[in-house]
Amino acid sequence: MKVLVLGANGTTGFDVVTQLLKQGIDVKALTRNVERFDSIKSSKNIEVIKAGILEIDHQKLKHYLNDVDAVISCLGHNITLKGIFGKPHKLVVDALIRIVNTIDEINKNKTVKIVLMNTTACLN
């Protein structure tokens, strides 16, 4: 199984990546900040992709989605005024629309599981 994790650099996203790797699952971690992955990027099961989901080139996104069985979205905003009210306002919605449309474009017959996570009102 191969999984693309969006928002992999956040607390929840990084925990998801770590748990998937412990289970031997191949992970593609999409993140704007790759430094956090220095401790685990030597794992043979991880591919760290430095990109923002709304900015990544369409052809590259197709390439990264081509062989995945699931996408886990851990996208969210920082709990600050800038994080909540700043741009992009519709990060999760816009990202998931883009993911679903791209998967459909790649192969209309392939089923890719999509998991949407959030941590609204949760503290670690």
The stretch 95-103 carries a mean pLDDT of 95
For the chain, the average pLDDT equals 86
Q: What's the CATH code, domain 2-116?
A: 3.40.50.720
Question: What is the model's pTM?
Answer: 0.86
Please give the helix or strand (H or E) that residue 21 lies within, else none.
helix 11-22
Phi, psi of 85 (to 5 degrees): -105, -5
CA-to-CA separations, 24 to 1, 19, 45, 60, in angstroms, rounded: 9, 9, 7, 25
Pairing of strands 2-6, 70-73: parallel
pLDDT confidence of residue 64 = 96
pLDDT confidence of residue 11 = 85
Q: What is the pLDDT of residues 50-95, one digit of tens each?
A: 999 999 999 999 999 999 999 999 987 555 555 555 555 578 888 9
* Residue with the two structure tokens 């017959």: 109
More confident residue, 9 or 41: 9
